[in-house]
Amino acid sequence: MNLKMPLVDLKAQHLELKSEIDAAIRDVVDSQQFIMGPQVAEFEQDLAAYAQVPYAFGCASGTDALQLALMALGVGPGDEVITSPFTFAATVEVIALLGATPVYTDIDLASYNIRVDQVAGLITPRTKAIIPVHLYGQPADMDELLEIGKRHEIPIVEDGAQALGAYYRDEKVCGLGTIGCTSFFPAKNLGAYGDAGGVFTRDEALADRLAKIRAHGSDKRYWHELLGVNSRIDTLQAAILQVKLPHLDRWNQHRQQVAAWYNEQLNPAWVTTPVCGVDRTHIYQQYTIRVEQRDALQQYLTKNGIPSAVHYPTPLYLQPVFRDAQWDSRCPNSEKASNTVLSLPMHPYLTREQVQLVVDTIHGFFEQD
Ligand SMILES: *Cc1c(COP(=O)(O)O)cnc(C)c1O
């Protein structure tokens, strides 16, 4: 039996839509409108409708989406931004790039999302934004955060790079906060064929700023109103994403099915499986378990042909570039998660048999002890 098992199966997804995607690419190449061709505005309309917000803009990456959001909110030197240290580096990179200081809350070990109960205590007169990360595809505790944001007049920027399509109560991620950000990195739930990202807002004035900042602060040729960057989404990526977007919910549902298979089969005495809050949905950008013997289990899986990954092995305040002794051991849950999390194969083409093989191999590791 040849169960070739990738961690993420991008080839299967390409084959599913190959003829439509090839045609979309050909149209753009034939038109030669690589920058802001008509597919960009069309995709942005589709994206806004999908996220149930009035304004959505494509941009060059998820990282840029976060930077555009902070720029649109005027975050700069001397400001503080509260976020999680247990996330991909981009979340904190953009804060530092703008000269602001990241201030960390620990995470909740059940959801891996920020501990909202710590946020209010970290607010100072310099706090200019709070960035919850909807980690692995599960929304953070948004009602509580929005309430804190309202009380202190601090905008909430959602890092929805891993969670596009997830619901919090009756609303979709990226439309909950002041600005929502997502990523179309190829391995994300909605992946482009290169780098791309999106920003979302309900606020007309912010929408105007976001649209300009991503294009050199300008919406009229050679007239620059704001300090901007070059972060347009490629027409090619917009055209490809236009083809893929209508399939996102179905792909996310299959990921939920895969997660349910894992949850049913994995022995809870040996591994901690993900927990999803009852008032939200999880779209499993990652299916991540926690085990004390993580490194040994990962080696065993590799030896047995099962890929896995650690998201993320180091809290950001311990990374050389962001090292900040002030936060050492103040985020014990983040440190514990960094040492014990393991992401298993997860994509919309995994079969029940493949999931069973992963589970049997994990159980085989524990049975040998
Ligand atoms: C992927 C990711 C980003 C960055 O997105 P890119 O498109 O790779 O720039 C930011 N935050 C989180 C949580 C991510 O997973």
**Each residue's pLDDT tens digit, 26-55:** 999 999 999 999 999 999 999 999 999 999
pTM: 0.97
* Same domain? 24 vs 92: yes
For 273, which DSSP code? P
> Average pLDDT for residues 92-107, to the nearest whole number?
98
pLDDT single digits (tens) 301-319: 999 999 999 999 999 999 9
Decide whether any atom of ligand 1 lies within 6 Å of the 161 Cβ: yes
* Same domain? 160 vs 28: yes
* Same domain? 122 vs 235: yes
* Same domain? 279 vs 197: no
* Same domain? 147 vs 262: no
Asked if residue 1 is part of any domain, the answer here is: no
* Same domain? 58 vs 135: yes
CATH assignment of the domain containing 330 = 3.90.1150.10
Ligand 1 centre distance from Cα of residue 88 (Å): 6
Residue that is last in its domain, among 246, 269, 303: 246
* Same domain? 283 vs 238: no
User: What pLDDT, on a 0 to 100 scale, did the predictor assign at position 205?
Assistant: 98
Decide whether any atom of ligand 1 lies within 6 Å of the 63 Cβ: yes
pLDDT single digits (tens) 161-182: 999 999 999 999 999 999 999 9
Decide whether any atom of ligand 1 lies within 6 Å of the 158 Cβ: no
**How many residues can be counted in the chain?**
369
User: What pLDDT, on a 0 to 100 scale, did the predictor assign at position 6?
Assistant: 87
Ligand 1 centre distance from Cα of residue 133 (Å): 10
Residue that is last in its domain, among 193, 222, 246: 246
- Residues whose CB falls within 8 Å of the CB of residue 243, separated by 6 or more in sequence, listed in order: 17, 20, 21, 24
Ligand 1 centre distance from Cα of residue 149 (Å): 23
Q: Across the chain, what does the average pLDDT equal?
A: 97
CA of 285, closest atom in ligand 1: 15
The answer on pLDDT for 2 being more than 70 is: no
* Same domain? 289 vs 231: no
Residue that is last in its domain, among 198, 230, 246: 246
Nearest CA to ligand 1 atom 5: 62
> Average pLDDT for residues 94-104, to the nearest whole number?
98
Q: Give me the number of domains the chain comprises.
A: 2
Helices of type H across 166-219: 204-213
Decide whether any atom of ligand 1 lies within 6 Å of the 88 Cβ: yes
- Residues whose CB falls within 8 Å of the CB of residue 222, separated by 6 or more in sequence, listed in order: none
Question: Is 57 in a helix, a strand, or coil?
Answer: strand
What gap in Å lies between CA 2 and CA 21, rounded to an integer? 29
Asked if residue 69 is part of any domain, the answer here is: yes
Ligand 1 centre distance from Cα of residue 71 (Å): 17
Asked if residue 362 is part of any domain, the answer here is: yes
Asked if residue 66 is part of any domain, the answer here is: yes
Closest residue by Cα to residue 136 from 280, 319, 300: 280
* Same domain? 313 vs 202: no
Q: How many CB atoms lie within 10 A of CB 199?
A: 33
Nearest CA to ligand 1 atom 7: 62
Any idea what the Cα angle at residue 316 is, between residues 89 and 328, rounded to 5°?
175
* Same domain? 290 vs 338: yes
The answer on pLDDT for 299 being more than 90 is: yes
| Cβ contact 238:39 at 8 Å | yes
User: What pLDDT, on a 0 to 100 scale, did the predictor assign at position 5?
Assistant: 85
Asked if residue 3 is part of any domain, the answer here is: no
Asked if residue 315 is part of any domain, the answer here is: yes
CA of 133, closest atom in ligand 1: 13
Closest residue by Cα to residue 88 from 331, 286, 340: 286
> Average pLDDT for residues 93-118, to the nearest whole number?
98
Helices of type H across the chain: 10-31, 38-51, 62-72, 90-97, 142-152, 204-213, 235-244, 248-265, 294-303, 332-340, 352-367
Give 157's strand partners. Answer: 179
Instruction: Output the CA–CA distances (angstroms, integers) from residue 141 to 4, 63, 127, 231, 361, in the order listed.
Output: 38, 22, 19, 30, 34
Decide whether any atom of ligand 1 lies within 6 Å of the 162 Cβ: yes
| Cβ contact 82:127 at 8 Å | yes
Decide whether any atom of ligand 1 lies within 6 Å of the 159 Cβ: yes
Asked if residue 4 is part of any domain, the answer here is: no
Domain that holds residue 136: 10-246
The answer on pLDDT for 1 being more than 50 is: no
Decide whether any atom of ligand 1 lies within 6 Å of the 61 Cβ: yes
**Residue of 67, 88, 234, 343 to test ligand 1 pocket, by largest number of atoms within 8 Å of CB:** 88
